[in-house]
Structure 1
Amino acid sequence: MASFMGSVLTVFLALVVVNSSATEFQVGDEFGWQQPGSNNSAVYSNWASNNRFHVGDSLFFKYKNDSVLEVDKWGYYHCNTSHPIIAFDNGKSIMKLDRSGPFYFISGVPDHCKNGQLLLVEVMEPHPISQSPQSIADSPEPHLAADSPASSPSLGVVISITPCSLVIALLVTSLALVCSAP
């Protein structure tokens, strides 16, 4: 009976891990990567603020007669195309977000950046998964840096509940109760 419960628990954990996979975001959604109109110059900053980006996710740039440049912070704020970190011009470009922190993108077409075709994506730190919730709870309270935006300390535990994982958790609990009954 213990091996059956172990198998059910393994399947449950595998399903939970699958739910935390990387996401590919199409930049600008249906609008794609193009020069915005004069009344829509904040389209990319609005798009980025409505999404959460994690290490391992990727950005899909879809465009015509344009290009995508990853640049440094200075290049972003000055719309400088002369020293890109990476340049794409094939119409369908994918950029993997392989680290936390800011990523800066601009169009390589003159004046498109100045007219609002630029994107700043802030990639979140990966969540710590090496500690169990119990060992995190037993550890001393972390000190927050003075410039930290956090208003309260966090245990660093992420719980993602999807309908599928909720049903599986209920099934596992029900089976455990049935199997342990005399």
Structure 2
Amino acid sequence: MGKSVCSAVVLLSIAFLQLSVVCYGAVYFVGDKTGWTTLGNYDYKAWAATKNFQVGDVITFVYHSEIHNVLQVTEPEYTSCNVTKKPILSFATGNDSITLTTNGHHYFLCGVSGHCQKGQKVDVNVGANSHNGSAPSPSVNVTNPSTPVSPLSPNNGGKLSLGWFVRMVVPAGVVMFVG
């Protein structure tokens, strides 16, 4: 009887984890494996155009912190590459993750002189998330991971998902545990 109760608990846990997948957003690395840089004339506008950002998704800027930074700014400041007042948010760790918590445009640029003019800026346009039934909270939620992020392979498009982890790793653990 003990083994069947344990198996039932494990199966219920897996079911819960599968359902929780819809509550978490995708993780996008700005610029994919190129990162946040002025080198190579990377086209961040084209990068953003290939993404379907949703409320709850996370965008991560990976860059050399002694050379670049990330500022969240207003649309006019983004368009003109001229930050005239204090930015909405400012980042300088070299590995900054921002949770997108509202729909609409979120404008980011490098505040180092000349970098925005060279194209180091991105407009992240967040659409409605059909899985989010709650009222929107402030525009972004910032977390700065303490460990560096490893580069992504080119075939994943810069998008990671908790669903992948749950669907691949958890069942393998169950097979080992139950078997």
Q: Which interval holds the TM-score relative to the shorter structure?
A: 0.5 to 0.7
After the TM superposition, list the runs of 4 or more consecutive aligned residues in structure 1 that deviate by more than 3 angstroms. Answer: 10-16
Between Structure 1 and Structure 2, whose CA radius of gyration is higher? 1
- CA pair 81-129 structure 1, distance change in 2 beyond 3 A: closer
Per-residue CA deviation, residues 30-86 of structure 1 (Å, 9 max, x unaligned), is 10001143xx35x21111111111111111111112100000100100001232111
> Gaps spanning 5+ residues in structure 2: where?
1-8, 134-163, 168-179
Q: What is the aligned-residue RMSD (CA, Å)?
A: 3.0
Answer whether contact 2:55 2:132 (CA < 8 A) is retained. no
2: CA distance, partners of 1:116 / 1:35: 7
Residue 14 of structure 1: how far off its partner (Å): 3.2
> Gaps spanning 5+ residues in structure 1: where?
1-6, 131-161, 165-182
Residue 129 of structure 1: how far off its partner (Å): 6.7
Higher relative contact order (CA 8 A, sep 6+): 2
- TM-score, scaled to structure 1: 0.60
1: CA distance, partners of 2:132 / 2:79: 35
Per-residue CA deviation, residues 86-105 of structure 1 (Å, 9 max, x unaligned), is 11111111111110110000
Report the AA paired with residue 120 of structure 1: D
- CA pair 104-129 structure 1, distance change in 2 beyond 3 A: closer
Pairs aligned (count): 129
- TM-score, scaled to structure 2: 0.60
Alignment of 1:49-128 (within 5 A): 49-64=49-64, 65-83=67-85, 84-127=87-130
